[in-house]
Structure 1
């Protein structure tokens, strides 16, 4: 079956709209989880017409526009190893022209201690600024050395969000990394719906305190099922490609057999 990354790259260069449909929905949900006020139609208008409709803050406009470009970059760049430089590049792309960029926070690890507010409203401790470089080097080295399973992705995501390496934008960068990892490992994309944001946050916290990655893995599995239900044409294209390749190979084999002369005894 044609791998998911190649399928998206093919769809990106066709006019059927499936690629843009997935991109818009992925960005709508991941940004809405973080408080974006853009609706789906407003993101489509921004993508198609480069026009901002609706009433939004400057940061929301900049980050939404940046995320459109970052999505394309991730799809093109999915095979490259994830390094500290690459990670910071993604963050720079997401945060350029925002107030975080003005304050020197874009594309660099955090300089000021920050926290996560958990589902119950309690503060969750994360890595201190001076701990981030070493923790991120270790995290990237550990997972760059193997083909990742869905459980590996859940463990990576949990560790990344618990380190919280950037001043802001950790959730969105973390979910972009999930997209990159899914493409690299030929897994169905994980798109956390904004309606499932609370279940997602609860799963992160349950996995944090329960020392079991199962709650988060289940959320990811559910997200992959939603992807297949929402974009059946992508699955059909991949399966049809597989059948076409089998037909081509069968034809080649038949032609070769016809050309091979029979030998006498």
Structure 2
């Protein structure tokens, strides 16, 4: 599987440089951006996502587009590219903040609301009925989380636990899920014992259940099961481009 991941990263880099919109780089960009934003409530369709990525335009339609959905979709494309550019670097608070910056810097609504862009949250927030880490404690908890992660053997279970802890901290005002899922994809490319995967919107309920299981039971069985299923699905999609 290391050959598969090596091929994948090489194709990402080559196709991006060539502005190739027909290969696995473009497929992955579109699939990640569509599904990750859709999980968070985006109204854009796969076709609209593809059009934004391919040409920077939206198809002519009688529908109204939410500006925030378009801005966040474009931000997601940029976040993916930044992830690719920094793949050889260590996962640090600065790198994570910059992922958030790429996602959110062009979002007018967030800037107008005074949200911190590319920095940790300044106001308390919640995930549904769950409280998250208070702003004054985020830096300390993120540093502890990254220290813990550096000391672990990297596998699916470790990554699932990292993600669940990250989501419980909820370090940013908005965009936590999308940055968190991008980190998972990044780490799955970097580590030999983790296969890359995309969390699909069609599996959103399983994903939410997995995060809930960790909050309530400190277990990641459901998340790991989902990640393994998603990794097989993504591999089957990638095989199409292998020729």
**TM-score, normalised on structure 1?**
0.81
Who is 1:227 aligned against? 234
Matched, 1:106 2:125: no
**Map of 2:91 onto structure 1:** 82
Which of 114, 126, 133 is the matching residue for 2:132?
Answer: 126
- The CA RMSD measured in Å over matched residues stands at 1.8
Deviates more, 1:92-101 or 1:8-17: 8-17
Q: Is the 8 A contact 1:105 1:167 kept in 2?
A: yes
SS of the residue corresponding to residue 202 of structure 1 reads helix
Report the alpha carbon displacement of residue 155 of structure 1 after superposing the two structures with TM: 0.4
Which protein shows a greater Rg? Answer: 1
With over 3 angstroms needed to count, the CA separation of the structure-2 counterparts of 1:188 and 1:233, relative to structure 1, is farther
Residues 142-197 of structure 1: per-residue CA shift (max 9 Å, x gap): 21244511000000000000000111110101000001110111432121110110
Q: TM-score, normalised by structure 2?
A: 0.88
With a CA cutoff of 8 Å and minimum separation of 6, indicate the structure with the bigger relative contact order. Answer: 1
Unaligned runs of 5+ in 1: 118-122, 238-265
Aligned 8 A contact 2:33 2:76 in 1 = yes
- Tell me the distance in 1 between the aligned counterparts of 2:220 and 2:145: 16
Counterpart contact for 2:133–2:168, Cα < 8 Å: yes
Contact 1:5 1:75 in 2 (8 A): no
Offset, 1:57: 1.5
Alignment equivalent of 1:95, drawn from 104, 115, 118: 104
- Any idea what the Cα deviations from partners look like across 1:1-34, whole Å, max 9, x if unmatched? 4251552332442445222012211211111000
Q: Determine helix, strand or coil for the equivalent of 1:231.
A: helix
CA contact (8 A) 2:115 2:173 kept: no
- Kindly provide the CA deviation profile for residues 83-136 of structure 1, in whole angstroms up to 9, marking residues without a partner as x: 11111111111101212234141111111111011xxxxx01211111101000
The match for 2:161 among 152, 155, 158 is: 155
Q: 2:115 touches 2:121 (CA, 8 Å); kept in 1?
A: no
CA distance in 2, matches of 1:6, 1:105: 37
- Equivalent positions of 1:21-170 (< 5 A) are 21-53=27-59, 55-98=64-107, 99-102=109-112, 103-117=114-128, 123-170=129-176
Q: Which structure 2 segments of 5+ residues have no match? A: none
